[in-house]
Amino acid sequence: MRSEFLPFSPPLIGEEEIAEVVRTLRSGWITTGERTHEFEEAFRDFVGAEAALAVNSATSAMHLALATLGIGEGDAVVTTTMTFASTVHVIEHQRARPLLVDVEPDTLNLDPNQLEAVVRRAPGVKAVMPVHLYGHPADMNPIYDIANRHGLAVIEDAAHALPAWYHDRMIGARANGFDLPNLVAFSFYATKNLTTGEGGMLTGSPELVEAARVWSLHGMSRDAYKRYTSDGSWKYDVVQPGFKYNMADVQAALGLVQLKRLDSMQRRRHAIVERYDDALGRVSELETPYERPHVRSAWHIYLLRLRRERLGIKRDAFITELKKK
């Protein structure tokens, strides 16, 4: 048992990551370039996606998804009450209306039954943004069914969900039987299962991802690597107003090594989850997290719920007492 305070998710950075970042710093090219494209391809293959775009955050990835799909003023996007603020912020940045629906009590993910009710009664719904909260996949099959019936795009907030599985596919892979637009946003923030310090990834169809790529760099038709390297061309066009959401090679170098280590890091994470389940599952005042049979959670966060009727104190007081120990 630890005697010192355990901080939230310190990054697991080894000598291989440090060496790869140093090698990139010495290469003479540190912004978006070859390492970033290598990372995109490796990530695409890892999750089974059709295409991937590396960006500077999951927030940027979600914003790009909305912009790429043309969602804007007068449109509505349905999402969940249980999420980080950025899921809703990006909807409002596009001047669209966020419609919040309640969650399933066991997983705290978007409730498909609530989604159906909101879509039926609310005008102008163009997309749904489910969140794979704490790493446990949302129940995507009924969400895809509802989206198919109502002609909605699906943008998945997978900031917590690498690597997570829903039935026989990893989150981020193409969903069989769903032919409407589907984009998935991942986070590589410092506390995530895979980190690039700051960073994110957007996966989806090649057409949508390439459209998002233009949005991600000032609406330019070529990035710097394609303009200034020996195989590139200096000529480019600015085809639309865009953003500055690109990932740098220094971040991608870190991500490439982290991705190679992700399976082993995840095995360690699962071993810790089993220890928590064994120790905390016997405490009657606590409720341990639930994992549905058809999913494999990424276990980004191990959520304990307090049975306050048995505990006798409120949550904040409980946390304060834990910090004293």
For the entire predicted model, the pTM comes to: 0.93
Q: Which residue in 126, 192, 226, 324 is the catalytic one?
A: 192
User: Rounded distance, CA 47 to CA 162, Å?
Assistant: 9
Every domain range in the chain assigned CATH 3.40.640.10: 15-258
CB 253 within 8 A of CB 21: yes
Q: Is 192 a catalytic residue?
A: yes
Helix ranges (DSSP H) in the chain? 15-26, 34-47, 58-68, 85-93, 112-121, 140-150, 206-216, 224-228, 249-280, 308-311, 315-324
Place of tokens 């971040």: 251
Q: How far apart are CA 243 and CA 251, in angstroms?
A: 19
| The pLDDT value given to residue 235 | 74
pLDDT tens digits for the chain (325 residues)? 566 777 777 899 999 999 999 999 999 999 999 999 999 999 999 999 999 999 999 999 999 999 999 999 999 999 999 999 999 999 999 999 999 999 999 999 999 999 999 999 999 999 999 999 999 999 999 999 999 999 999 999 999 999 999 999 999 999 888 889 999 999 999 999 999 999 999 999 999 999 999 999 999 976 655 655 555 666 788 888 999 999 999 999 999 999 999 999 999 999 999 999 999 999 999 999 999 999 999 999 999 999 988 988 899 998 898 888 6
Distance (Å) of CA 134 to CA 33, 158, 163, 247, 273:
32, 9, 12, 24, 13
Number of H helices, E strands in the chain: 11, 12
Q: Tell me how far apart the alpha carbons of residues 126 and 141 are, in angstroms, rounded to a whole number.
A: 18
Q: Which class would CATH give 15-258?
A: alpha beta
Could you tell me the two tokens for 199?
A: 């960073």
In the prediction, which pLDDT does 233 show?
62
Structure tokens at 169: 């596919």
Q: What is the CA radius of gyration of the chain?
A: 21
| pLDDT at position 2 | 67
